[in-house]
Amino acid sequence: MTTKRHDMHPAADVQAQGATIAQMYRAALRVHPSREALVAGDRRLSYQELASACWRCMHAFAALGLKRQDAVAVLATNSTESVIAIVAAQLMGFIYVPLHPLGSEEDQAFVLADAGVKALVLDVPRHAERGRALASRGIVGHVLTLGPADFGMDLMAASARQHDDEPEDQVRPGEILKIAYSGGTTGKSKGIVHHHRTVVTSALQQLAGWEWPEQVRFLAATPVSHAAGAMIFTTLLRGGTVHLLDRFTPDAFLATVARERITSTFLVPTQIYGLLDSPALGLHDASSLEVVIYGAAPMAPARLVQALERMGPVFAQVYGQAEAPMTISYLRRDEHDPQRPELLGSCGRVLPGNSVKLLDADGNEVPAGEIGELCVRGPLVMSGYLNRPEETARAFDGDWLHTGDMARCDAQGFLYLVDRAKDMIISGGFNVYSSEVEGCLAQHPGVALSAVIGVPHAKWGEAVMAVVVPKPGTTLSAEELIAFVSQRKGVVQAPKFVEIVDSLPLTPLDKVDKKALRARHWQDRQRQVA
């Protein structure tokens, strides 16, 4: 008997859409009801208690009239309340829009408007002043605070009045899960659209390709709105316990590791440098740590050797970007081998499920060992940029996601990042787009021209440096310009160094020659990222 194509289409369509984050969270919350799920300070929640808190929060969201695929932004700290709100938002099928915790008011307001955000959730008291300022702009319909405040509605108090019956799962696989904002080379942030497919893929690649301890006690020491949030999800899928560190300091981190017998964590290189330079490293028992995952920025090989000597063979590196998060490649613990020093400059090998090629400017694959732009295909990559079809088309030129990172690949398949094609600086694990800083400096009445570059920095990996040409008859100071950008763009975007010059070098096409500016600072280095 012949089966007609239309008889198979509905089932095939459902199968093609795959799983949702909501389904996976619900499954994780059911498996170990009495096991500890979330710890922050003195507050300890079991999986059942976390589930009940999420169900109540979902009912509170619904009582406000918020519905599936409404965009909800979160300005969070590392607290149990923040995690409950974020998980509940994803269980509701909202479009989750994380706000950069160190972003400026103007940039955060732009995100709220660009994404069409219906509700803003923010932690107090940490973000009370910013929340009050954003609320006064009238961009969003609901301002929800995670605790009492003199503005908005206390979401936690509203949740406490709700019952804890588990709501029906209405989330659909083909829906948008998240819009993550990253700076743009045009000077405006871009909304990076991720459907459930992306985050499900990243989670499964983490579970399959990363080295997890048998008992996962994960310490979230970076913002839960960014990389740590992805690992909260996989920790819960593993039946582990998430410990939240509100503010990273070497002493607080190491004291928590010793007290809670932490087995895994994620750190950016600057945090690892802080540990190595702190006397606290020798005062606390960190022997429980089995894996320290690091990423978000390259780590200096010399400091990596120090880390291996001081903390042992516990380090594993992840490589990804906002458009293909967390799991493009992975460098295992046993590949962090001082006897093979060349590997300490690698970002690992491609994880299964991703296709990676190094392409030249014409879209041709470069020979082994030569440098090309690292391009990715597969279910890990974003769906595109929100309302920016031309930028989406450029990013997917030739049906590959162009990462903007220049790399080479050796005969064993290890990738090495050597330069950055996109005009982006990674400082302390945060992305800084030079065009945004240059656009801000251009607003200063005394600035004629500026060029912003990344320069090597022992702590931050790269530091933002502005080379500025003043207008005739104008006197500028570095302190003045740093304060100017800090006020308008936030401390992450602000230059750490400012050089005042009479003119900038130009290319034959009369463009500012940033390569020449960078050369003075990066000469004698094998790669042009820190």
Three-state helix/strand/coil letters over 263-292: CEEEECHHHHHHHHCCHHHHCCCCCCCCEE
Query: Same domain, yes or no, for 81 and 141?
Result: yes
Query: Same domain, yes or no, for 376 and 470?
Result: no
Residues 6+ apart with CB under 8 A from 214: none
**pLDDT value of position 8:** 43
The one-letter amino acid code at 74 reads: V
Q: How many CB atoms lie within 10 A of CB 211?
A: 14
Residue in 333, 320, 340 with CA at minimum distance from that of residue 382:
320
Query: Same domain, yes or no, for 106 and 166?
Result: yes
**pLDDT value of position 443:** 86
Query: Same domain, yes or no, for 264 and 405?
Result: yes
Query: Same domain, yes or no, for 49 and 153?
Result: yes
**pLDDT value of position 7:** 45
Structural domain span for residue 455: 424-522
Query: Same domain, yes or no, for 270 and 140?
Result: no
What pTM did the predictor assign? 0.84
**pLDDT value of position 165:** 97
Instruction: Give the end-to-end CA distance of the chain in Å, rounded to a whole number.
Output: 63
Give 3-state DSSP helix, strand, coil % of the chain, rounded to 5.
35, 25, 40
pLDDT in tens, the chain (530 residues): 333 334 444 444 554 568 999 999 999 999 999 999 999 999 999 999 999 999 999 999 999 999 999 999 999 999 999 999 999 999 999 999 999 888 889 999 999 999 999 999 999 999 999 999 999 999 999 999 999 999 999 999 999 999 999 999 999 999 999 999 985 444 578 999 999 999 999 999 999 999 999 999 999 999 998 888 899 999 999 999 999 999 999 999 999 999 999 999 999 888 898 899 889 998 999 999 999 999 877 777 878 999 999 999 999 999 999 999 999 999 999 999 999 988 998 999 999 999 999 999 899 999 999 999 999 999 999 999 999 999 999 999 999 999 999 899 999 999 998 877 667 788 888 878 787 788 888 889 998 888 899 998 888 888 999 999 898 888 999 999 999 999 999 998 899 999 999 988 876 545 688 888 888 887 766 665 65
Number of H helices, E strands in the chain: 16, 26
Dihedral sign, Cα of residue 70, residue 93, residue 122, residue 63: positive
Query: Same domain, yes or no, for 186 and 327?
Result: no
Query: Same domain, yes or no, for 268 and 403?
Result: yes
In-domain check, residue 210: no
Residue 345 is classified by DSSP as: G
Residue 37: helix, strand or coil by DSSP?
strand
Tokens linked to 303: 């400091």
Query: Same domain, yes or no, for 428 and 415?
Result: no
**pLDDT value of position 436:** 78
**pLDDT value of position 303:** 84
Query: Same domain, yes or no, for 178 and 273?
Result: no
**pLDDT value of position 54:** 98
